[in-house]
Structure 1
Amino acid sequence: MKRNILFILSIFLIQIIILPAQNKRDFTAEDLWQIKRLSNLTVSPDGNYGCFVVTEYNIKENKGNSDLWLIDLRTYQTKRLTTNLNSDNSPVWHPNSQTIAFISKRESDYPQLFEIDIDGGEARLLYEMPMGISNPQYSKDGKKIFFVSKILPEFEHDFDGLKKELKKRKEKKVTAKVTENRLYRYWDSWLTDGYVSRLYVLDLDKKELKDLLKGWNKLFNLDGGISYSVSPDGNWVSLVANSTEPPYDSLNSDVYLINVNNPEQVKNITEKNFQDDSSPYFSKDGKYLFFGSQFDPDYSADNVRLMMYDLEKGTIKNLTEQFDYSFFGFTQGDDFNKIYLLAEDRAKISLFEFDLKQNKLEKIFTGGSINSVNIKNQRAYFLKSTISEPQEIFEFDLKKRTIKKISSFNDDLISQIKFGKVEEHYFKGADGDSVQLYLIYPPNFDPAKKYPLVHLIHGGPHGTFGDDFHYRWNAQLFASPGYVIALVNFHGSTSFGKNFGKSIVGAHGDKPFTDIMLATDFLINKFSFIDSSKMAAAGGSYGGYLVNWIAGHTNRFKALISHAGVYNLMGQFASDLTYERVKNYDGAPWQGRYENINRWSPAFYAHNFQTPMLIIHGEKDYRVVVTQGLELYGVLKGKGVPARLVYYPDENHWILQPQNSIYWYKEVFDWLKRFLGE
């Protein structure tokens, strides 16, 4: 009798375990927009709390909203700190660890500077500017706060006049944009209206505001921000600015030092380096300034080295010259002899520790993709995601080298969804080099069945399809209809060493195309469940370029999808950034090197086009101008190749609005279904 009861109980327990898995459902585009997106994690000076941003989207209203949240790092309990109808972001801790400053658009036309106590209560307006505020940072003593704002230089002493001018411009009916600069627009915005960014410091007791960049008209971040760091004593600011002058025939980002008490005292500490310098970060003991530098004039994605500037001696030391990584995200903890940094690492993002005394670099964590690293009390806190897991907060013990997930914002939703298995493989690509790929299985995989293969081709080309949860090209979502998904990190991809990335400069269609073809052969030969008669390729930006190149060089795919893809290389001199195109295309029109450019231009192989293609493009795309997609579509229709155009009048290089994104996935899946079947 007891044996029967135990048997029945064991069957019951097995059912409890199995049933939830059986009840899981397929991943949908709507699910993708229900996921809570975490960002901007920052840990309090006392190490007791983390503040971060959670963005949630309302599909019906077609918009998102961001609020500040807290996590108690002793109990891992979370609570919402703000509930504003407009987004709150950019949290920074006051040194008292009880107050947070942040940016919010509440009752103003522009986002302004607010402050809130972590114990609750209403947010307080700290300061406002005519064109809003961004990127705040407290001084270490908490008596001052630094921030960025845009102005018109002629009104730098007259904010009331600036407000009147902004109103006048808003009411003006003339819409012409006029320029003589080589750089005149960026991403989806024009740079012709005369606005400049300035860095200010506000004395919180006296309510006195000081413009640290008075008279400056330099370019900073092209999106209008300024990358800067404040020294621990509050006497110095370091920032990144472009050192060239209009009409900007070239660009060069340099690192500057500015005396906060005497802003006219300015020093360009990287003026001898004619490639980009970036990401200044003062050491916590105030002795050094860390920053990143690139040196190769022939490779725009050259490795970023960690540099150390001795503030007393005025000398610069390259700390990572011997390491084949590109570093970013510099930060320190309580041990001033160590600095922590991130690097792309074989399609992941790894955390490194550099010992300044021993001049030793150690990789201390790898797995997935991480960002927003904070070091406190012998622990690293960061956000981490994988191909199958959205970002959550993790705690990493620096002594034990153990990791723990400490937030669960998306666990309930993800537990309801079937995801496919993810594998990492290497194969022999172009020149016999080892090339990496991720393979994502369909969620209901049956090894006895045959499945279509879909390549997702990343942009850049100097980038990766990495081990992260992508919201625009989500590999698990692409696999959900029953496809095997391949993410090939072909020659030119970053995170596999400088030489691997640089190997395609001047020949963008060569080795990456070979890699995709060899990857296809590798997968067909290795996995019997792949149906070689049902294959497709899809990509965006450079990925779209490679799809267009594929169209002119092979007919082995049943369907192609080109999102914001480059079709005619000559037409890319209408792009927002044209500086690197001369080296990348091995020539420029004004050099008369047309054969070099056209050699790798998909437009010159249009006579070979046979594969049905879906073309998608946004009107506000200034990186790959919309005429690229329209020209490609016109040629395909003229040749009689099945083609479909999806045009977004209000999107840029990326599809960012929830309903537009959901429709994007519908068009993509309908196209694949049409030519690959169920």
Structure 2
Amino acid sequence: AISTNGDLFIVPVGGGEPKRITSQTGFDGNPVFSPDGRYIAYHAQLAAGYESDRWRVMLYDRQAGKSENLSEGFDRSANELGWSADSKTIYFVAEDETLEPIYAMTARTGAEPKKIVAEGFNGNLGVSSDGKMLVFTRSSLTTPAEVFAASSDGRNVRQLTHHNDAILAALETNAPETFWFPGAGGTRVQAMLIRPPRFDASKKYPLLVLLHGGPQTMWTNSWGYRWNAQVFSAPGYVTLMINRRGSTGYGQKFTDEITNDWGGKAYEDVMKGVDYTIAKYPFVDSTRMAAAGGSYGGYMANWIATHTGRFKALISHAGVYNKPAMYGSTEELWFEEHDMQGTPWTNPESYRKWSPLTYAGELGKYKTPTLVIAGERDYRVPYTQSLEFFSALQRQEVASRLVVFPDEGHWISKPQNSQFWYKTFLDWLATYLK
């Protein structure tokens, strides 16, 4: 795929010719008819070929046949749009500094979105037919998703389901502590830290640094089936999640600062975040640290393996290693062309500079034990990237192990495979950190 463009069409329910209503070169999606039938609200990315451009709230007037950008001044990405019953207000959720609040805005150009449900990571937003109630799911790093409701103005938030209460009552989980630190160039960077169960501040604990993918995503205070921080902390690790440069939820400039800078400010943010954590939390054992990530997080693990020896172990899942080869085999050509600002033949220097392969000779210098994991059906970051990385580790006699899932893609989704993935992950950490 070389384009992120997607347009909206309308077609009579009884059949007929589709009519295109959007034509800009970015992506238009999430269309929702207003209750009075006059408008269609949708969200749009205006930058062509960039899957992480900010999502604007757009309004298509069916009578005038024109679209307006309602939220250009709002520096967050709007998702899951919904209407009030009187067709005057648009609701949506947007990532914001590890959380996902619910916003409301008047359906007119220049209106300022108001945060009406500020707490929690909220999703699957719905509006009741009479417009009096909002319904949504909410989760956190300590609680899987449950269904919540609130009044249409965001007040009277209440939990409707308690499916996980009995299970959670038998577990000890610690809520994340959120903090900020000065990253590359002094820019403020946010991180979350989770203490292990039965935490004793007088003891020293090994540190696990989680490296998120994307690269344009963020670590959220929400529950996840994959890369669950509570599972990682349970054996006795302090888990650190840094929303380094390139993360979403901090404004478009912060997100864009990883473009053509994959191993630059983002890497420095991570290293400075680790330094800050060691200085701030005396219970962190700086002699027992590991780092792990998937996708771009796997790339960052590969980059770390070739640039520092400060970690006792690394885990690279579906990590990019050879940027020119990545371009030639991924199904998302637009992704490489945007983030590297060209192709391997128009901008070869960027592909060389930001490839861990370029620095592969340093693997034998640092010799950090590394677990390499991949899915054979991964078309996003083809598993051959992991094979190349593993070969370089083996040839330089670095302690390493390769695990390939023949029936998985970019993510490990099947329950039995997931159990094996977590066990393999934790066994690797125990070997080098305990």
TM-score, scaled relative to structure 1: 0.62
Please state whether the residue corresponding to 1:486 is helix, strand or coil.
strand
Which residue is 1:604 aligned to?
358
Which residue is 1:540 aligned to?
294
Aligned equivalents of 1:656, 1:296: Cα separation in 2: 32
Write out aligned runs for 1:276-291 (5 A): 276-291=27-42
Deviations 1:590-642 (A, max 9, x none): 32x32221100011111111211000111111111010111111110000000
Aligned equivalents of 1:539, 1:293: Cα separation in 2: 30
1:571 aligns with one of 325, 328, 336: 325
CA separation of 1:289 and 1:411: change in aligned 2, threshold 3 A: same
Contact 2:4 2:48 in 1 (8 A): no
Write out aligned runs for 1:175-214 (5 A): 183=1
Which residue is 1:502 aligned to?
256
Write out aligned runs for 1:422-441 (5 A): 422-441=176-195
Contact 2:375 2:407 in 1 (8 A): yes
Which residue is 2:12 aligned to?
259
Aligned equivalents of 1:558, 1:467: Cα separation in 2: 27
1:627 aligns with one of 384, 408, 427: 384
Instruction: Return the letter of the residue paired with 1:370.
Output: N
Aligned equivalents of 1:446, 1:397: Cα separation in 2: 42
Which residue is 2:413 aligned to?
656
Note the aligned Cα RMSD (angstroms). Answer: 1.5
Give the C-alpha shift of residue 262 in structure 1.
5.0
Instruction: Return the letter of the residue paired with 1:651.
Output: E
Aligned equivalents of 2:4, 2:175: Cα separation in 1: 44
Aligned equivalents of 1:381, 1:548: Cα separation in 2: 42
Aligned equivalents of 2:165, 2:271: Cα separation in 1: 38
Contact 2:3 2:48 in 1 (8 A): no
Is 1:366 paired with 2:121?
Answer: no
Contact 1:420 1:444 in 2 (8 A): no
Aligned equivalents of 2:258, 2:270: Cα separation in 1: 14
Deviations 1:302-346 (A, max 9, x none): 111111111011121111011101101011232321111111111
Give the C-alpha shift of residue 277 in structure 1.
1.2
Aligned equivalents of 2:133, 2:15: Cα separation in 1: 38
Deviations 1:164-199 (A, max 9, x none): xxxxxxxxxxxxxxxxxxx4xxxxxxxxxxxxxxxx
Instruction: Return the letter of the residue paired with 1:554.
Output: T
Bigger proportion of residues as strand: 1
CA separation of 1:628 and 1:399: change in aligned 2, threshold 3 A: closer
Choose between structure 1 and 2 for higher RCO, CA contacts under 8 A separated by at least 6 residues.
2
Aligned equivalents of 1:250, 1:280: Cα separation in 2: 20
Give the C-alpha shift of residue 298 in structure 1.
6.8
Aligned equivalents of 1:608, 1:659: Cα separation in 2: 36
Instruction: Return the letter of the residue paired with 1:656.
Output: S
Instruction: Return the letter of the residue paired with 1:253.
Output: G
Deviations 1:421-480 (A, max 9, x none): 411111001111110111101111100000011111111000011011011100111000
Deviations 1:15-47 (A, max 9, x none): xxxxxxxxxxxxxxxxxxxxxxxxxxxxxxxxx
Give the C-alpha shift of residue 299 in structure 1.
4.1
2:209 aligns with one of 455, 459, 463: 455
Aligned equivalents of 2:92, 2:316: Cα separation in 1: 35
Is 1:302 paired with 2:53?
Answer: yes
Which residue is 1:375 aligned to?
127
Write out aligned runs for 1:144-543 (5 A): 183=1, 250-264=3-17, 266-271=18-23, 273-297=24-48, 299-356=50-107, 359-376=111-128, 377=130, 378-399=132-153, 401-543=155-297
Give the C-alpha shift of residue 396 in structure 1.
1.4
Contact 1:507 1:586 in 2 (8 A): no
Aligned equivalents of 2:159, 2:352: Cα separation in 1: 51
Contact 1:507 1:600 in 2 (8 A): yes
Paired residues, number = 427
Aligned equivalents of 1:415, 1:485: Cα separation in 2: 22
Aligned equivalents of 1:367, 1:675: Cα separation in 2: 38
Instruction: Return the letter of the residue paired with 1:256.
Output: F
Instruction: Return the letter of the residue paired with 2:117.
Output: F
Instruction: Return the letter of the residue paired with 1:662.
Output: Q
CA separation of 1:313 and 1:587: change in aligned 2, threshold 3 A: closer
Aligned equivalents of 1:605, 1:400: Cα separation in 2: 52
Aligned equivalents of 2:258, 2:423: Cα separation in 1: 34
Instruction: Return the letter of the residue paired with 2:425.
Output: V
> Percent identity over the alignment?
40
1:582 aligns with one of 322, 332, 337: 337
Aligned equivalents of 2:342, 2:153: Cα separation in 1: 52
Aligned equivalents of 1:587, 1:339: Cα separation in 2: 38
Instruction: Return the letter of the residue paired with 2:66.
Output: T
CA separation of 1:446 and 1:361: change in aligned 2, threshold 3 A: same
Structure 2: gaps of 5 or more residues: none
Deviations 1:92-123 (A, max 9, x none): xxxxxxxxxxxxxxxxxxxxxxxxxxxxxxxx
Aligned equivalents of 2:15, 2:65: Cα separation in 1: 19
Please state whether the residue corresponding to 2:101 is helix, strand or coil.
strand
Give the C-alpha shift of residue 275 in structure 1.
1.3
Contact 1:420 1:479 in 2 (8 A): no
Contact 2:49 2:334 in 1 (8 A): no
